[in-house]
Amino acid sequence: MPELRIYDSFRRQKIPFTPVEPGKVGMYLCGPTPYAAAHIGHAYSASCFDMIRRALVLLGYQVKFVRNITDVDDKIIKAAAQAGEDPLERSRRFTDEYNREMRLFGILPPDVEPRVSTHIAEIIDVTSKLVANGKAYEVSGDVYYSVASFAPYGQLSGQTPDDLRAGARVDVDERKRAPADFALWKAAKPGEPSWDSPWGKGRPGWHIECSAMCAAHLGETFDLHGGGKDLIFPHHENEIAQSQGAYGPGTFAHYWLHNGFLNFDGEKMSRSEGNVFTCTQIADAVGAEAARFFFSSHHYRSPVEFEYEATRDADGKLATIRFRSLEAADRRLAYFYETLSRIDAFVASGDGGPGAVVAGADTLVNDAREALSDDFNAPVVMAALGEAAKLANKLLDEGKGIDKQVRRRSIARLGADLRTVGNTLGILTAAPIDYLHERRERLVKRRGLDRAAIVALVAERDAARKAKDFARADAIRGEVAPLGVELLDTPTGTDWRVVDAG
C-alpha cells in the first residue's frame, strides 16, 4: 500500500498519516442539526467524508466512523416553537429525513450516530471535569468555558485574542468573565428540553457534545476529525479547548480535515439569496448520483462552484431551475453506466478465467490507491476511471489481434475494477439498467415528453415485429426520432432511451 499523506488543517500542511493504533482509524464528523430539510451543502460535506472513509478502507484501514446528531439546539427549539411541535420530536423527524436523503446520495450510515439527548451523562461528566480543574465556571445555572484558561486557544483557526474580542462585541454578556467565553451548559428556560445536572436543570451548549461523544465512542485520543471549513471557528476551536482542557495536551484528534465551501454562482449558499436547494430538489432534477459524480471531480478541500440558471416569477420566487453542470455530470455518468451495461452483457458469456490481461486493464485499483493516498485526490481517480472506461469500450468495439480469452478477461477485470473504484467515490453502485431507466424518467420530465404515447408506440412496435410487419416497426422508429427518443432492440423486446446530447 502507498503511504497515506493527509493535509492537516491544524498544522496547515500535508503530512504522513500515523494512526493511533496501526491499521485502524477512528474518525469523527460533526453531523447535522436537524430542524429543516437538508440542503445540498449538507450532502456535499457528507459526500466528502464518505469518500474519505471509503478511501481509507480501500487503503486497507479498518475504520470506525462516528457522526453525531445535534438534536438539542437553539435552532431546533425555535423552529419547533414556531410550528407548535415538541423539539425532540421535530429533530427525530428531520433526522430520519436527513438519513433518507444521505442514503439517496450514496452516503453510508455511520458506525455510531450519537445524539445529544442520549449523551447527557457524558456531557455532564466532561463539563464537571472542566469545572473541577478550573477551566470552566458556573454563573447562576449556566456553565462557561474560560478561554483565558487554555493557553493554546486559537491555534486551529489562527484567531488572535484581539480578533476574539472584536468578534464577541455584538454578544456582550455581563455574566461571562470574558466575551470569548462560551456556554457548556445553559440553565433551563420555560418550554425548552432540560435535564438535571450539578448546576440545576438545563441543557448542553452546542460545542460540548462533540467533545463528550468523541471521548465516549473513539476515546480521549483518536485519529481524524472532520467538518466543513465553516466549523473551524468557533466550533472546532472550542472542541479542542474542551477536550484538551479535560484530558490534557496531546489528546483529542491528531488530524483535522475540512472540506471547502459549495458556492452558488460565486455566492455562498444562503436562504436570503434564495439559492438554498434541498437534497430532494437536486435528486429529483438531476439524480443524486450525478451530484455525487460532480462532487468527485473536485478535490474535497477546493471550493466547488455550483451553477444554476433560474427564472423567477413576479414575486421573485424561483419558477424554473436548470443545473447545467450537474446535467453534464449526469451525461458523463450515463456513459459509465452504459459501459458497465456493455461489459456485463459481454462477460455474461464468459469472463476468460484467470491469466494475463492487456496493458492497462489491471492498473485502475492501484492507480486509485496511489491518488487517494495523496490527501484523497478524487479528481485524479475520476481521470483514471475515464481511462479504464475508454479502454473497456475499445476492447468491446474491437478484438482484432487480441487473444480471445485475454480480451474477455481484460474486459471482465475492467468491469470489476470500475465498480470497486467507483464505489470508493460513492458512484456506480446501482445496476446499470436501474440507473439508465431512472435517468430516462428524469429526461422525459425535463423535456415534457408524453411518456404514455411513447410506451404505446413501443408496444405497437413489439407487436408489429412479432407479426413480422417490419415496415410498421421501422416506421415507428421514425415517428419517435423527432421527439429525441431512440429505440433499442434487446433480447426481451424493444427498450427506449431519450437522446441527450446536452
CA dihedral 6, 10, 13, 14 (to 10 degrees): -10
Minimum CB distance to Zn ion smaller for 230 or for 273: 230
Q: Rounded to whole angstroms, how far apart are CA atoms 359 and 387?
A: 12
Shortest Cβ 396–Zn ion spacing (Å): 48
Q: Rounded to whole angstroms, how far apart are CA atoms 167 and 34?
A: 27
Shortest Cβ 232–Zn ion spacing (Å): 11
Shortest Cβ 170–Zn ion spacing (Å): 23
Minimum CB distance to Zn ion smaller for 230 or for 438: 230
Shortest Cβ 150–Zn ion spacing (Å): 17
Q: Is 185 helix (H, G, I), strand (E, B) or coil?
A: strand
Minimum CB distance to Zn ion smaller for 30 or for 241: 30
Minimum CB distance to Zn ion smaller for 112 or for 188: 112
Q: Which cell numbers in the block locate residue 339?
A: 459501459
Minimum CB distance to Zn ion smaller for 136 or for 391: 136
Amino acid at the residue 143: V
Minimum CB distance to Zn ion smaller for 209 or for 327: 209
Which one, of 115, 114, 121, lies nearest residue 198 by Cα?
121
Shortest Cβ 236–Zn ion spacing (Å): 7
Shortest Cβ 229–Zn ion spacing (Å): 13
Q: How far apart are the first and last CA of the chain?
A: 40
Q: Rounded to whole angstroms, how far apart are CA atoms 231 and 341?
A: 42
Which one, of 103, 79, 433, lies nearest residue 280 by Cα?
103
> DSSP states of 190-249 as a string?
TTS--B--TTSSEEE-STHHHHHHHHHHH-SEEEEEEEEGGGIIIIIHHHHHHHHHHH-T
Q: How far is CA 44 from the centre of its chain?
A: 5
**Other Cβ atoms closer than 10 A to 123:** 25
ω before 204 within 30° of 0 (cis)? Answer: no
Shortest Cβ 37–Zn ion spacing (Å): 21
State the residues that interact with Zn ion by CB under 5 A: 30, 210
Minimum CB distance to Zn ion smaller for 46 or for 210: 210
Shortest Cβ 206–Zn ion spacing (Å): 8
Work out whether the CA dihedral 357, 363, 364, 366 comes out positive or negative: positive
Shortest Cβ 234–Zn ion spacing (Å): 11
Minimum CB distance to Zn ion smaller for 29 or for 389: 29
Measured CA distances, 383 to 84, 173, 302, 364, 422 (Å): 51, 53, 17, 10, 11
Minimum CB distance to Zn ion smaller for 30 or for 107: 30
Residue 357: which residues within 8 A CB-CB, separation 6 or more?
Answer: 406, 409, 410, 413
Residue with cell 463539563: 127
Minimum CB distance to Zn ion smaller for 259 or for 494: 259
Residue with cell 415507428: 476
Residue 60: which residues within 8 A CB-CB, separation 6 or more?
Answer: 1, 23
Shortest Cβ 306–Zn ion spacing (Å): 24
